[in-house]
Amino acid sequence: MRVILSRRAALAATGLLAAPAPLRAQGFPSRPIRVMVGFAPGGAADTIARLIAPGMGAALGQTVVVENRSGASGTNAAAVVATAPADGHTILLSTLTHVSNPFLFSGLPFDYATAFAPVSQVVLFPTVLAVRKDFPAADMAGFLALARSRRDTPITYGTPGNATAQHMAAELLQQRADIKLEHVPYRGGADAARDLAAGVIEASFNSVSSLAPAFAAGARPLVAVTAQRIPQLPDVPTGIEAGIPDFVLSDICGVYAPAQTPPDTVATLYRAIAAALRADEVQARLRALAAQGVGSSPAEFTAFMQQESTRLGALIRAAGISVS
């Protein structure tokens, strides 16, 4: 998985900035672009959508408007885009729920597998396993040893909620390391981080930005659930470095158009996203959020989504994860 703007995306964006006319597909866009976000204002997905909207608008020569349609783990907004005209003027920005929702919800009025055309993975939000300040283990090896010694009284861990990327990261660890942990779901990452800082829970799988106040209060990061080390936490090893095979699972934000959107329109949207990500102010804001810009192409994003769908589907079934 890429965790920085790919060279191809960077070159494309550079070309677009130098010569904006080729950016636009023939006849597109002809009016403002609606970006549907399935989560409340102020959350991670909403923040990313509003961060890239001005740059996309400048590249496209049209206003890009962010519209929140929260509820049902993002499926409400997804339904709007799934049934929108396939002309690129209504698109979706969603999280990893776009991959997991098909395995968690039934009876939806659309099929995730056929209703969308992936445009680009915009960012990665790295997941970190952190422990409270007085936790007896100093590193991941100690954490695993303690977990194996406490099968009757499992280590408690908090996440932003059931079926979130962070919850699935914890379930992945339990499968990979053959341990048992006790899940304490919260209504958001900030709430879980607050209780970690207070010592109410022993550990938390969470985003770096949500954990920042807990770190300031003495909580400690043990491992990054990412392919590479996190720039903001350079001394924290990855799960793979800690000896846990394939222990990589973090949240993302990606953009999708309705299925059957013309390929040149999808490519135009991708190039606008790549251009927006290159802006210095966007890069600075992403660093402050401990998010990593990706800017993958439609083909790269499609391959990533297919891979994650297979992997997370198996994980959800094996762990019995639900949205209840």
Residue 222's H or E segment, with its range, is strand 220-224
Close Cβ partners of 97 (under 8 Å, ≥ 6 residues apart): 38, 73, 74, 163, 164
Q: Which domains does the chain have, with CATH numbers?
A: 7-125+252-319 (3.40.190.150), 127-224 (3.40.190.10)
In whole angstroms, what is the distance from residue 164 CA to residue 142 CA?
Answer: 26
Helices assigned H by DSSP within the chain? 7-18, 44-60, 75-82, 97-100, 112-115, 140-149, 165-177, 189-198, 208-216, 263-278, 280-288, 298-319
- Segment 174-231, tens digit of pLDDT: 999 999 999 999 999 999 999 999 999 999 999 999 999 999 999 999 999 999 999 9
In whole angstroms, what is the distance from residue 27 CA to residue 47 CA?
Answer: 29
In whole angstroms, what is the distance from residue 7 CA to residue 44 CA?
Answer: 25
Q: Which residue has the tokens 């909620």?
A: 161
| Segments of the chain with pLDDT less than 70 | 1-25, 324
Look at residue 23 in the predicted model and tell me its pLDDT.
60
Does this model's pTM top 0.85?
yes
CB atoms within 10 A of CB 289: 18
In whole angstroms, what is the distance from residue 317 CA to residue 312 CA?
Answer: 8
In whole angstroms, what is the distance from residue 258 CA to residue 168 CA?
Answer: 27
